[in-house]
A = this chain, B = another copy of it.
Amino acid sequence: MLEKKNGKHLPKLTSVQLIVLYYVCAVLFSTLLLSLPIAHKPGVSLSFIDALFTAVSAISVTGLTVVPTRDTFSVVGYFILMFVMQFGGIGIMTLGTFIWLIFGKKIGLKERLLIMTDQNQSTISGLVSLMKQILLLIVIIEAIGALILGTYFLKYYPKWQEAFFHGLFLSISATTNAGFDITGTSLMPYAHDYFVQFITMILIILGAIGFPVLIEVKHYLTHRGKYPYHFSLFTKITTVTFFALVVFVSVSIYLLEWNQVFADKKWHEAFFASLFQSVTTRSAGLSTIVVGDFSEPTLLLMSLMMFIGASPSSVGGGIRTTTFAIMCLSIFFYAKGRNTIKVFKREIDPIDITKAYIVITTAFMLCGTAVTILSYTEALPLMPIIFEVASAFGTCGLSMGITSELSAVGKLVIIALMFIGRIGIFSFLFLIRGPEKEENYHYPKEKIIIG
C-alpha cells in the first residue's frame, strides 16, 4: 500500500534510512562538537560516554545531564548546545508531522494543505518545505522570548551581554523543551520571580502543544471567511488534554505537598510552584524546586505525567497526549456501553484506537524493562529509578539527581530511552515495521475469553 502510494517519491526503505541516518549523523557530529577542547571550561575533560550522553540528551531535547553544564562547558560549548537543541527540537517536530502526513492514510486534503503548501510536491521537497516552516515559526518564538527575557534579565545581570545571553539560552531551552540550564540550578534562581516563570511557561507550552496546533491557531487568527473557522479534531483533543493534565497535576501537587514541601511557603508561592512544576513535567524539565524533595506520591504522579508527555508533532516526548486521551475515551465509552467513540461531533477511527493501545502497552513494557535492568545494574532505590526512566522516555529531563551516578550500562539504557521517547513509540514501531502486506487469505474468527 505504502510502496504503491509514495514509492516513486520516497521509497519506504529510504525514508527509514533517512531518519536513522539523520539521527546517527546528528548524534556523532554533536558528540564530536561537544568533545572539542574549545567547548570546555579550562582544565575540564569529558569522557566519550558523557559527551555521547550530553549529545543525545540535547538532540532529543531531554535535558538529563551526567556532567554539570555550567561547570563543564565554555561559552563556545553553550553555543554548540543551543545549536544542537535547536536542530534536535526542530528535526523531531518535522519528523513527527512528516510521518503523520505521509503514513497517516486518509488524512483530509485540508490538513495537508494547511501544513504543506503544495499538495503535489514530492515528499522530499515537502519535508524540506515543512522543516523551513517549522524552523521559521520556532525561531520567531525564540527571538521574541529571548528579547523579553534578555531585557528583563538586565535587572539580574550587570552586563547587557550576559543578560541577553541568559535570555537567549533560556528562551531556546524552554521553547525546544530541552531543559538545559547555565545557572547550575535550573530555574531556582528565579524561584520567586513570577515574570520569568510566566514567560518560560508560555515558551514551554508553545513548543510542547504541537506544530499543527500552532498552524491552526495562526490560520484561525488570520481567518476572514464567511463561515467560522473549524479547528481539527486533533487540535481540539490534544489542547484539551494538555491543559486538563496541567490543571490536574497543579492541583494534585498542591494538595499532596501543601503541608510537606510547601509547608513554609506562602499560598501564592506554593500555587505558582505547583503550576510551574506541572507545566514543566509535560516535557520541559526545568524546575524552580529540587524535585527530589517532593514526597513519593507526588514523584509517582510526576513519573506518570512525564510518561504521558506532550502533544504529538511537538518537541515533547512520551506516549503523547492524544494517545492517553484516546485510551481514557475508549474506556469511558466502553463502560457506557457504546461501541464508537464520539467526541467533538466526530468519531474516532478504530485504527487510531488500536494504535493508541499499541503505543501505550509497548511504552509500558519498554519502561518496565528499563526499570528492571536499572534495578539490577544500579545500587539505587526504586523511586529515583522509576522517575529517571519516565523522565528519559518523556524526554522531560527532571531527575532526582542520580543521572551522573549511573553506571555505563545505566547511561546506555537512558540514552536508548531518550532516543525512543523522542522519535515516539509509533514512529519507532513504524521504523521496525515490515512492509504492509495484502491480506490474501483469512481464517475463521473465533472468540476467546478475555480478562
- Interface flag for A264 (CB, 8 Å): no
Residue of chain B at shortest CB distance from A436: B337
- Proximity string of chain A (299-321) to chain B, C-beta cutoff 8 Å, 1 when within and 0 when not: 01100100000001100000110
Q: With A337-B437, A376-B295, A439-B339 in contact, is A446–B347 under 8 Å at CB?
A: yes
Residues in B with CB closer than 8 Å to A320 are 449-451
- Chain copies in complex: 2
A326 CB–B CB distance under 8 Å? yes
The answer, yes or no, to whether A340 is at the interface (CB within 8 Å) is yes
| Contacting pair B348 A448 (CB below 8 A) | yes
Q: A413-435 interface mask toward B, CB cutoff 8 Å, 1 = contact, 0 = none?
A: 00000000000111101001111
Taken together as a complex, chains A and B put the C-alpha atoms of A357 and B375 apart, in Å, by 27
Check: A358 CB closer than 8 A to any chain B CB. Answer: yes
Stretch at the interface among A65-73, A189-197, A380-388: A380-388
Residue pair A448, B322 in contact (C-beta under 8 Å): yes
The answer to whether A104 touches B447 (Cβ under 8 A) is yes
A122 located at the interface, meaning its Cβ lies under 8 Å from any Cβ of chain B in the complex: no
- Residue A359 CB within 8 A of the other chain: yes
Whether the Cβ atoms of B355 and A450 lie closer than 8 Å is yes
Inter-chain contact B362/A331, CB cutoff 8 Å: yes
Alpha-carbon gap, A338 to B312, bound state (A)? 24
Which of A19-27, A171-179, A232-240 participates in binding chain B? A232-240
B450 touches A359 (CB 8 A): yes
- Would B96 and A449 count as touching, CB distance under 8 A? yes
Q: Are A448 and B256 in contact (CB under 8 A)?
A: no
CB-CB nearest in chain B for A295: B376
Taken together as a complex, chains A and B put the C-alpha atoms of A71 and B362 apart, in Å, by 45
Chain B residues in 8 Å Cβ range of A433: 334-337
In the complex, which residues of chain B have a beta carbon less than 8 angstroms from the beta carbon of A403?
none
Whether B297 pairs with A447 at a CB distance below 8 angstroms is no
Please tell me if the beta carbons of A326 and B450 are within 8 angstroms of each other in the complex. Answer: yes
- Enumerate the 7 nearest inter-chain pairs by beta-carbon distance, A residue then B residue, closest first: A426-B451, A357-B357, A312-B449, A359-B451, A234-B448, A296-B375, A337-B434
Chain A residues within 8 Å of B, Cβ to Cβ: 96, 100, 104-108, 210, 212, 232-234, 237-238, 256, 295-297, 300-301, 304, 312-313, 319-320, 322-323, 326-327, 330-331, 334-340, 342, 345-350, 352-362, 364, 368, 371-373, 375-376, 381-383, 386, 424-427, 429, 432-437, 439, 442-451
CB-defined A-B contacts under 8 Å, sample of 8? A96-B449, A104-B449, A300-B368, A331-B429, A336-B434, A352-B447, A357-B357, A425-B451
User: Other than the known A320-B450, A349-B448, A426-B450, what 13 A-B pairs have Cβ atoms closer than 8 Å?
Assistant: A296-B375, A297-B372, A312-B450, A319-B451, A320-B451, A323-B450, A335-B429, A338-B439, A342-B443, A347-B442, A349-B447, A425-B451, A426-B451
